[in-house]
Chains A and B, each alone.
Chain A
Amino acid sequence: MAAIVEARELTKVFRVAKDRRGLLGALRGLFSNEGRDVKAVDRITFEIAPGEFVGYLGPNGAGKSTTIKMLTGILHPTSGEVRVEGKSPQRSRKEVVRRLGVVFGQRTQLWWDLPVRDSFELLAAMYQVKPEAYQEILKRFNEMLEIGAFLDVPVRKLSLGQRMRADLVAAWLHRPPVVFLDEPTIGLDAVAKGRIRAFLKEINRTEGTTIMLTTHDMDDIEQLCSRVIVINHGRLIYDGDLEGMRRTVGAPSTLRVEYTRTLETAPRGPWTVLAHEGAAVTVAFDRSQHTAAAVIAELSRYGELRDIYMAEPDIENVIERMYRQVM
C-alpha cells in the first residue's frame, strides 16, 4: 500500500548565533554573522501507511516538533523530502493542509472569545464542509466526547479537558485523512486522558484516520500506538512496535516473589536484587538471557515461594535506556 506520510532523508539545520559574553561581546555580535549550525533533524526516513496509529517519541529537544512542523508545512526542510498523500507540504501548502488535522496540545486554535459552536462553524466554512456533513459529525462526536454540554460556552471559559476535547473535534470536522497530535493529553487528569484515548482509538478504527502522536506520556503509547518511532538528537533510533522496542533495548523484567519464611540474605543468581524486605524479594533480570521460568526455579532454591508477581519493563525505563544508547 502506498505510504500516506513519507519522510526521506529529512534534514533541518538551524543557524544559531554564536553565544557572546558581556556587553562588548553582544555589541560585536550585532555586526558579525558568525554562528554555528545545529542539526535539529538529521536524515530521518520513515513511511506511514494509511490507517496507522504511530507514536513519535523523543526527549525534549530531540527534534520531534521540528519534524512535525516540516510534515505540516510550517517549516521548510534544509534537505530531504516530505510527502503527505504524495504532495509536498512546502510546495503545495494550502492543498496539503486542507486534508490535514493538527492539534497543538499547548495552544488552542479555537477563537478565544467566541462560543465553541462558533469556532466549529467558522472552521466548517473555512474547510467548506457541507452542512449535512457538519451536523452529522457534530452529533457523532458529541456522543463520543460529550461536547454538547459546552457548545455555547466561550473557549476562554473552558477547563483544560473541555478545551482539549473541543480542539480534537475541531481537527476532525473536515474529516482529514491524516491528523497530527502534539501532546494532546498534557496536563489532563486521568479521567480526561482516558476519555480522549478512547476517542482516538475509536476514531482511528472507524474513520481509518492516519494518526501521528507526539507524546511524553507512556500510557498514551501503550494504549494507542501500534508503532513507535523514537528520535534523539535529531536522529531516528527506533522504528517498530513496542514489544520489539523492549527487546531491542534489553530492558530488564522485574519479578517480585514472597517466600513463606523471611530470608536472611538476598538470593544470588542471574539477576540484580532491587529490594529485599524480610520475606519479599524484588529482582531484575534480562529476559533475552533467561526465561522467567528459569529465574523462578532458581529463586525457589532459596526457600518455598508463596507468591509471584511479574512486571513488564517500564516503558519510561526502556525509553531512557534507549536515549542513552550510543548510536
Chain B
Amino acid sequence: MNALRLYGRLAAASLRARMQYKMDFLMSTFLYGMLTVSDFLMLAAIMLRFREVGGWNIYEVGLLYGMSWIAMGLYRTFAPELHNFDRYIVYGEFDGLLVRPWPTLLTLLGRNFEPHRLGAAVQGGIILWISVSHLTQAGVLDGLDVAYIVAASIVGALIPFGLSLFTATLAFWVVRTGELQPFTMYAPVTASQYPLTVYPRWLRLLLSSILPVAFINYIPAQYLLGKGGSVWSLVAAPAFGVAFVTVAYAFWRLGERHYHSTGS
C-alpha cells in the first residue's frame, strides 16, 4: 500500500461522505467560489480604472490571478489539516499521528480532504480561461504556452503548500500559528495576483525568495508574455517549488524531533 493509494482512498471516502448531502456540497463549492472571486472584483475595479498596472493589462493580470487561485484552491483542497495544524499541538492530537506507521505529514494530510475548496480553483480557472482566450486571440500566447500555464498552475500548488508547511512547523515551538498565516500565506498569495513590477524592490525580493509566491505565476508568465526573464524561468518555477517543499519538509522533521523531546 503506497502513500498515493492510501491518500486516494481517503479522498474517495471523504468525497463519498460529502456527496451524501449533495445540495450542501454543491452550495459550499459555489459559495466558496463566490467568496474568493471577490478578490477578482477588486482587481477588476482597479484594472478598469487604470487600464494597465505595472505595464500589465487586464488579461495579463487575469492570467496571474487565475494561476494563483488554481494553486491556492488545490492547496486548500488537499491540505486542510496542514492549514489548521496548530490545533494538533494545542489539543495534543499530534500524538495520534505519531502512533501510526507512516510519516506524520502523510498521516496528517490523510485526515481530511475538502473538495468544496475546489470552488476557488474553479473561479480561478474561469478567469484564467477568459484571460488566456483573449491573449491567444491577440497572438501573445500559443497552444504550447497554454499547456504550460495549466501545468504550472497545478504544480504551483507546491508553493502555498511549502509556505503552509513552514508555518505549521513553527507550531512545534510557538504553538498558536494561526495568527501568522495572514503574513506567511494570505498576504503573499494575494500579492501574487498583481505583477511584481508594481511593488518596491524590497518586496519584489521578498516575494521571490522567503515568500516565493512569484514562482507560482509571475516568473514563468513574465517570459511567456515577452516581458522579461528567459526560457529558464519556465524551468525555475516548478524546480523551485520542489526545492522549497523539500527544505520545508526538512524543517518539519526538525520540529518533530523537538516534539519528541518536549512533548506538547
Partners in one complex: yes
A74 in complex: contacting residue of B17, B102, B107, B260, CB < 8 Å: B260
Residues on B with beta carbons closer than 8 Å to the beta carbon of A115? 17
Residues on B with beta carbons closer than 8 Å to the beta carbon of A114? 13-14, 17
Which residue of chain A lies nearest to B256 when distances are taken between CB atoms in the complex?
A93
B96 in complex: contacting residue of A66, A95, A109, A122, CB < 8 Å: A109
Judge whether B95 and A126 touch: CB under 8 Å.
Answer: no
A118 in complex: contacting residue of B6, B17, B100, CB < 8 Å: B17
Complex: how many Å from CA A95 to CA B260?
17
Q: Which of A41-74 touch B at CB < 8 Å?
A: 66, 69, 72-74
Residues on B with beta carbons closer than 8 Å to the beta carbon of A66? 263
A257 at the interface (CB under 8 A from B): no
Judge whether A125 and B9 touch: CB under 8 Å.
Answer: yes
Complex: how many Å from CA A100 to CA B101?
9
Complex: how many Å from CA A115 to CA B14?
10
Complex: how many Å from CA A121 to CA B17?
14
A297 at the interface (CB under 8 A from B): no
A107 at the interface (CB under 8 A from B): yes
Judge whether B100 and A97 touch: CB under 8 Å.
Answer: yes
A14 at the interface (CB under 8 A from B): yes
Complex: how many Å from CA A323 to CA B96?
30
Which residue of chain A lies nearest to B93 when distances are taken between CB atoms in the complex?
A107
Complex: how many Å from CA A319 to CA B96?
30
Would A126 and B13 be within 8 Å (CB), given that A69-B95, A75-B263, A111-B111 are in contact?
A: no
B192, chain A: closest CB distance, angstroms: 32
**A-B interface contact total, Cβ < 8 Å:** 73
Judge whether A128 and B98 touch: CB under 8 Å.
Answer: no
Residues on A with beta carbons closer than 8 Å to the beta carbon of B93? 107
A94 at the interface (CB under 8 A from B): yes
Would A121 and B260 be within 8 Å (CB), given that A74-B99, A109-B96 are in contact?
A: no
Interface residues as binary, B221-262 with A (CB distance below 8 Å gives 1, 0 otherwise): 000000000000000000000000000000000000000111
A102 at the interface (CB under 8 A from B): yes
Judge whether A74 and B95 touch: CB under 8 Å.
Answer: yes
A110, chain B: closest CB distance, angstroms: 10
A76 at the interface (CB under 8 A from B): yes
Interface residues as binary, A92-118 with B (CB distance below 8 Å gives 1, 0 otherwise): 011101101010100101010111001
Judge whether A125 and B98 touch: CB under 8 Å.
Answer: no
Interface residues as binary, B93-115 with A (CB distance below 8 Å gives 1, 0 otherwise): 10110111110000100111000
B178 at the interface (CB under 8 A from A): no
Residues on B with beta carbons closer than 8 Å to the beta carbon of A74? 95, 98-99, 260, 263
Complex: how many Å from CA A102 to CA B93?
13
A142 at the interface (CB under 8 A from B): no
Judge whether B10 and A122 touch: CB under 8 Å.
Answer: yes
A154 at the interface (CB under 8 A from B): yes
Which residue of chain A lies nearest to B99 when distances are taken between CB atoms in the complex?
A102
Judge whether A73 and B98 touch: CB under 8 Å.
Answer: yes
Residues on A with beta carbons closer than 8 Å to the beta carbon of B10? 122
A127 at the interface (CB under 8 A from B): yes
Interface residues as binary, B1-20 with A (CB distance below 8 Å gives 1, 0 otherwise): 10001100110011011000
Which residue of chain A lies nearest to B9 when distances are taken between CB atoms in the complex?
A125
Interface residues as binary, A7-31 with B (CB distance below 8 Å gives 1, 0 otherwise): 0000000110000000000000000
B92 at the interface (CB under 8 A from A): yes
Judge whether B96 and A104 touch: CB under 8 Å.
Answer: yes
Would A94 and B102 be within 8 Å (CB), given that A14-B262, A114-B17, A125-B9 are in contact?
A: yes
A204 at the interface (CB under 8 A from B): no
Would A125 and B95 be within 8 Å (CB), given that A75-B263, A95-B101 are in contact?
A: no
Complex: how many Å from CA A74 to CA B94?
9
Which residue of chain A lies nearest to B104 when distances are taken between CB atoms in the complex?
A93
B1 in complex: contacting residue of A73, A126, A154, CB < 8 Å: A126
Complex: how many Å from CA A104 to CA B111?
17
Complex: how many Å from CA A107 to CA B13?
22
B68, chain A: closest CB distance, angstroms: 29
B64, chain A: closest CB distance, angstroms: 35
A125, chain B: closest CB distance, angstroms: 5
B77, chain A: closest CB distance, angstroms: 15
Which residue of chain B lies nearest to A101 when distances are taken between CB atoms in the complex?
B99
Judge whether A125 and B260 touch: CB under 8 Å.
Answer: no
A90 at the interface (CB under 8 A from B): yes
Residues on B with beta carbons closer than 8 Å to the beta carbon of A76? 260-261
Judge whether B102 and A126 touch: CB under 8 Å.
Answer: yes
Would A72 and B17 be within 8 Å (CB), given that A107-B93, A126-B6 are in contact?
A: no
Would A98 and B101 be within 8 Å (CB), given that A74-B260, A76-B260 are in contact?
A: yes
B106, chain A: closest CB distance, angstroms: 10
B91 at the interface (CB under 8 A from A): yes
Residues on A with beta carbons closer than 8 Å to the beta carbon of B102? 94, 126
Q: Which of A206-221 touch B at CB < 8 Å?
A: none
Residues on A with beta carbons closer than 8 Å to the beta carbon of B101? 94-95, 97-98, 126-127
Interchain residue pairs with CB less than 8 A apart (22): A14-B262, A74-B98, A74-B99, A75-B261, A75-B263, A76-B260, A76-B261, A94-B102, A97-B101, A104-B96, A107-B93, A111-B13, A113-B112, A114-B13, A115-B17, A118-B16, A118-B17, A121-B13, A122-B110, A126-B102, A127-B101, A128-B1
